[in-house]
Amino acid sequence: MTTTADAALAPVWDALAAATTRRTPFTLASLATVSADGAPRSRSVILRSWEPGRAALGLATDARSAKVREIRADPRVSLVVWDDDAQVQVRLEGRAAVVDDPAELRRRWEGLGARSRRGYATVGVPGTPVDGDATPARDDDEAVWSARFAWVEVVVDRVDRLDLSSEPHDRVVAERAGAGWRARRVVP
Ligand SMILES: Cc1cc2nc3c(=O)[nH]c(=O)nc-3n(C[C@H](O)[C@H](O)[C@H](O)COP(=O)(O)O)c2cc1C
C-alpha cells in the first residue's frame, strides 16, 4: 500500500515545527554521527530550528566538539526522537553541515538564551581530561564564548515514523525522490 508523501510527512513536519518553537518531547533528539574509525557515536542535542521547505534542522554546538569534527569528515547523520505521550518515534537521516557564514552564526548566537551561551565558557576542549577534581577553567568574555559556537544544519532526506498508539502499529517511511518525497507504509 502506498501513501501520499504529504499526508505521511505532515505530522512529522508539524511536530518538528512545534519542537523548535517550544519545548516538546521532540525538542531533545539523539544525534548519531560516524566517527573517524567508522563507529557510530550518539549524543543528546536540542533541536533549535526547522525549515520545512528544505527539510532542514538546526542545532547549536561547540565548534571544538567531536561531533563537529565527525560531521566535517563525514556528513551522514541520523537523529531519533520519541514522544512518550503520543507514543510516536521519528527517525531522521540526512546530511549535516557546519555553518561557516559569519552573519548566520551571529544571528544564531544572538538567538541563544543566556544559559545556553554560558555552555561555551569552558576554556578546555570538550572531552579532554580534567586534572584531578579541579573545576574546568571558564572565562567570562562573551566574545570568546561566541567564537567557540557552531551551528550545524541537517538536511533531512529520509523519515521513518513509527506510531505505537494504534493497534496494529503504524510505520511510514518517506524518502526524497527528485524534487519531492515518496512515502510508503512498511511493516512495523
Ligand atoms: C538534555 C541535554 C541536551 C543537550 N543539548 C546539547 C546541544 O544542543 N548541543 C550540544 O552540542 N550538546 C548538547 N548536549 C551535550 C551532548 O549530549 C554531548 O555530551 C556533548 O555535545 C559532547 O558531544 P560530542 O563529544 O559527541 O561532540 C546535551 C546534553 C543533554 C543531556
Q: What is the pLDDT of residues 66-118, one digit of tens each?
A: 999 999 999 999 999 999 999 999 999 999 999 999 999 999 999 999 999 99
C-alpha–C-alpha distance, residues 90 and 172, integer Å: 10
**Å from CA of 44 to ligand 1 middle:** 5
In this structure, what are the phi and psi dihedrals at residue 120, rounded to the nearest 5 degrees? -95, 10
Please give the pLDDT value at position 134. 87
Assess whether the C-beta atom of 126 lies below 6 angstroms from ligand 1: yes
Q: Which cell numbers hold the place of 126?
A: 570538550
CA-67 nearest atom, ligand 1: 27
Assess whether the C-beta atom of 23 lies below 6 angstroms from ligand 1: no
- 186 residue type, one letter: V
Q: For residue range 105-160, what is the model confidence (pLDDT) as tens digits?
A: 999 999 999 999 999 999 999 999 998 888 998 998 888 999 999 999 999 999 99
Nearest protein Cα to ligand 1, atom 29: 44
Strand partners, 93: 78, 158
Please give the pLDDT value at position 72. 98
CB within 8 A of 55, min separation 6: which ones?
13, 94, 155, 156, 157
Q: Which cell numbers hold the place of 35?
A: 566517527
pLDDT at 59 over 70: yes
Q: For residue range 18-56, what is the model confidence (pLDDT) as tens digits?
A: 999 999 999 999 999 999 999 999 999 999 999 999 999
